[in-house]
Amino acid sequence: MEIVPLTGVTGAAFGQSRATVRVVRGGPDSAFRRGADAPLTDLYADESCVFFEYDDADLLHAIEIASPGPVSLHGVRLLGRPEDEVVGELRDAGHEVVAEEEAGSIGFSLPALGVTLGGTAQDTDGFESVRFRGVSTTQHAFEFFEGPDGLAGGGEPAVVPHQGIGPVRLGAGRGEMRRLLGGGIGSVPEFGAAFQDTFFCGVVLSYDVDGSVVRIAFTGRTSLGHGGVPLLGRPHGDVREQARDQGLRVVDREAELVFPDAGFSVLTARDGDGLPTTAVVLPAPVAAPGTAADGRRDGPPRVGLRAP
């Protein structure tokens, strides 16, 4: 498999919809979320373990291939070889290769090409994976900030249709939210918003360039309800059936329940009625190309999903 820098690989180009990629490659072996409120990642386990990552609009954002997958860049085989050989050949070919360290593991990136080689404990083991995107890579430092413990105000928050969750509102300022929600980690996300705060109380907020909230996610560490229905930490199927019993309109999508009349979604880690819900997100993700108005995707039907 040859990486086409900033473009993708054969059969999958950055910016394509999930439905389009699935038409070309077929249904994935598994689809799962890498975080409680993250978009679904599709895993294909044919030539190797190949992960297709999508953004909030369901457009292909990044691809990761695990070792020892047969992947190369400009003729240089990247995985299953000693790291120093790979880095040396890439530099000899004129590429800028930058060493990076994260969580005690040293990897390398080719910033201009949007390529990152994941590190291992031993150079002779080779890289664990290669991940590449449709834009050049930029490293952003994380910002730890402090504040009061937990969500201020007490009580179980509820969804405020199309406006917010509990005391958190779309359009609110970043400083106000930090005073309300306490400590956490600030970052620059890879797609979508300009900035993001992940609060220790289990709330994730995304902001625009002016620092106003544009996306709210409450994860399973909190309690949350809507219309008398508890939404988090319960089986997907139970939430759907209780909501319908309460007269709420619910659209069942892959690993997601959409409440269109209130403008939010309830997510699970993978598809399955028995799996617990992990996050409530507002506003609900915009329907991507290839998605019908009722939330059903066109293209191939669902396949049986399994854990990666």
Q: Which residue has the higher pLDDT, 117 or 125?
A: 117
Q: Which residue has the tokens 């039907």?
A: 301
Q: Which pLDDT tens digit goes with each residue over 133-157?
A: 999 877 777 899 998 776 655 568 8
Residue type, 162: H
Position 184 pLDDT exceeds 90 = yes
Confidence of residue 297 (pLDDT cuts 50, 70, 90): very low
Average pLDDT over residues 227-245: 96
Q: Which residue has the higher pLDDT, 244 or 298?
A: 244
Confidence of residue 17 (pLDDT cuts 50, 70, 90): very high
Position 125 pLDDT exceeds 90 = no
pLDDT of 123: 54
Average pLDDT over residues 81-91: 94
pLDDT of 156: 80
Q: Cis ω on the peptide bond leading into residue 283 (within 30° of 0)?
A: yes
Give pTM, 2 decimals: 0.86
Pair of tokens at residue 308: 């990666």
Average pLDDT over residues 65-82: 92
Q: What are phi and psi of 268, to 5 degrees?
A: -125, 160
Task: Considering only the C-alpha atoms of the chain, give the largest distance between any 2 of them, rounded to a whole number of Å.
Answer: 65
Burial letters for 93-120: b for 16+ Cβ neighbours within 10 Å, e otherwise?
Answer: eebebeebeeeeeebbbbbebbbbbbbb
134 torsion bin: left (phi>0), alpha (psi -120 to 50), beta (else):
alpha
Interacting residues of 92 by C-beta distance below 8 A, sequence separation 6+? none
Q: State how far Cα 264 lies from the chain centre.
A: 17
Is the Cβ–Cβ distance between 105 and 117 less than 8 Å? no
Residue type, 241: E
Is the Cβ–Cβ distance between 265 and 278 less than 8 Å? no
Residue type, 298: D
CA distance 158 to 282: 12
Position 300 pLDDT exceeds 50 = no
> What is the 8-class DSSP label of residue 54?
E
Q: Which residue has the tokens 């695990």?
A: 66
Position 285 pLDDT exceeds 90 = no
What are the DSSP calls for 85-130, one per residue?
Answer: HHHHHHHHTT---EEEEETTEEEEEEGGGTEEEE--SSGGG--SEE
The fraction of the chain above a pLDDT of 70, given in percent, is 85
CA distance 41 to 148: 34
Strands 2-3 and 72-73, by their bridges, are: parallel
Q: Give the residues across from 297 on adjacent strands.
A: 291
Interacting residues of 227 by C-beta distance below 8 A, sequence separation 6+? 243, 246, 247, 248
